Amino acid sequence: MVILNSGSTQRNPMTTLEKQTRKSLAVYPGTFDPITMGHMDIIDRALNLFDKVIVAIAINPGKKPLFSLEERIQMVKDCFPSDYSRVEVDTVSGLLVQYAADKKATAIIRGLRAVSDFDYEFQLALMNKKLERHVDTIFLMPGFRWIYISSSIIKDAARHGGDVCELVPAHVNQNLIELFKKQ
């Protein structure tokens, strides 16, 4: 785990009561097209650090997702029991760090698979820190079992008939099979 903190020790002043009753909240953004076991692993790891995680499904007009926004929301929600109060699924468009601040999150979670991810993610984290100094970026690596997977690789394998059943939740695998049967 890598935590980006600009070195500033000044924080929002909180009373002791506020500190005792405050629930820690993090935002885990992504397109989740589709959600993978790597994403699930990052969410589980984040829940070891935070009381609640918002899985924020990004609306990016520059990307052409395989699944609709509604399908992606439902696939993520289906990963968690309906009574699972520690994970919230939401959508985000616009400036992520502003969304996190509006939600009163203390951190943005970013998954890193390889060193090559770090360069870009580090630049984003620094910009976010500049824009909103009270929101930290925390980089988490998925377990070794999932470190090589991405939604893009999974979609490509599934599109060509590859078996990805161990790399995505069962309902996501079924959605991929059904979608690619139609094409």
Cα separation, 104 vs 26, in Å, equals 9
The yes-or-no answer on residue 133 being catalytic is: no
Question: How many CB atoms are located within 10 Å of the residue 98 CB?
Answer: 14
| CATH 3.40.50.620 corresponds to the domain 20-182 | yes
- Summarize pLDDT for 65-124 with one digit per residue, the tens: 999 999 999 999 999 887 678 999 999 999 999 999 999 999 999 999 888 789 899 999
Catalytic residue among 22, 23, 24, 63: 63
Catalytic residue among 52, 77, 113, 134: 113
Catalytic residue among 45, 103, 129, 151: 151
| Domain residue limits, the chain | 20-182
Catalytic residue among 39, 45, 110, 129: 39
The yes-or-no answer on residue 151 being catalytic is: yes
pTM confidence score:
0.86
- Summarize pLDDT for 141-156 with one digit per residue, the tens: 999 999 999 999 999 9
